[in-house]
A and B are shown apart, each in its own frame.
Chain A
Amino acid sequence: MEKQLVVRLKSGHEITFVPNEVILNNTFIDVPSLLNENKFPLLLHFTHEALVSTLNLSKMPDCVLLHLKDDFSPKSATYCINREIGDFAVHSQCKLVLFIPFPLPFELKKIKSIQLSKKSKS
């Protein structure tokens, strides 16, 4: 079964992302190294019991982080746009974080819902 995340916009459009899911029990994650083996869209799934996860985003390609609740509905977002040399990290309270490359062809505020869908691989 293929895990798909369907982003529904207020305009009625539905955009499907088939994420590369990485399940992690660590609270500190070096995301650029994960991207060496997993392409966008990347879904981080945290299984630890801590309140927050620290995501190192230094030298990441430009992307948008969607912080998702346990039912995959969106809670918040982060723009990761590296224009300067330096270290850059964010904390996330969510157990699910979806990384999509920036720029997006739609406005984040136009997202109506995000839902999980499972389909057989064709």
Chain B
Amino acid sequence: MSNSKNDEIGFSLSSQSIAKGHGQFPYIIVRLHYAIYLQEPIHFHPKKNNELIGINIDSNFENKIENFPKLLSIASEYKQSLDTKNNRNHRLCVVLSPNQAYYYEENEIRFLPSIPSGGTLVNSRKEIIAMGNSHFIS
């Protein structure tokens, strides 16, 4: 269960998960349950890449940051579709960097300089991809 340094409990994102787009900014984190989080990577590219898991957005911008102004709309649409699908309100945030996240709360979106970390991280197939580690690769 542990492939971290020393004898710490948990494990970090595998190279397979990273190759599928996990652990790279920007991404959405959905709180599924106490300390259980779903990570939904957001990919911007001119052509669809079937190897990547997550939200795929068509874009011709070469510089990734030029796509960031779309993130709030993307996260809002994702939340609306998730809320409708599961018939409940989901707590989620869109994470832009190690110290920048926008949290969807009851009636507002709130900026915080801290991002979700640790717990059990799963992908959209509900497979566990990390545990007790950061949700991004440095």
Contact = CB atoms under 8 A, between A and B. Distances in A.
A48 interface: no
Given A11-B73, A106-B69, A107-B69, A101 B109 contact: no
Contacts of B73: 11, 106
B95 to A, nearest CB: 10
A16 B109 contact: yes
* Interface magnitude class on chain B: 20 to 34
Interface residues of A, number: 19
Given A11-B73, A13-B76, A15-B102, A103 B111 contact: no
Interface string A93-104: 000000011011
A77 interface: no
B71 A105 contact: yes
Contacts of B107: 14
B49 interface: no
A61 to B, nearest CB: 9
A39 interface: yes
Contacts of B69: 103-107
A46 interface: no
Given A101-B99, A101-B100, A103-B96, A16 B111 contact: yes
Could you tell me the dominant secondary structure of chain A's interface residues? loop
Interface in B7-46: 26
A102 B87 CA distance: 34
A41 B111 contact: yes
A4 B65 CA distance: 27
B109 A15 contact: yes
B52 to A, nearest CB: 20
Residue from the set A39, A40, A104, A107 with the largest chain B CB neighbour count within 10 Å: A104
A101 B96 CA distance: 10
B128 interface: no
B16 to A, nearest CB: 28
Contacts of B76: 11, 13
Given A15-B102, A15-B109, A100-B111, 13 more contacts: A9-B72, A11-B72, A14-B107, A15-B108, A15-B110, A16-B109, A41-B111, A101-B96, A101-B100, A104-B69, A105-B72, A106-B69, A107-B69
Interface of B: 26, 65, 68-73, 75-76, 94, 96-97, 99-100, 102, 107-111, 113
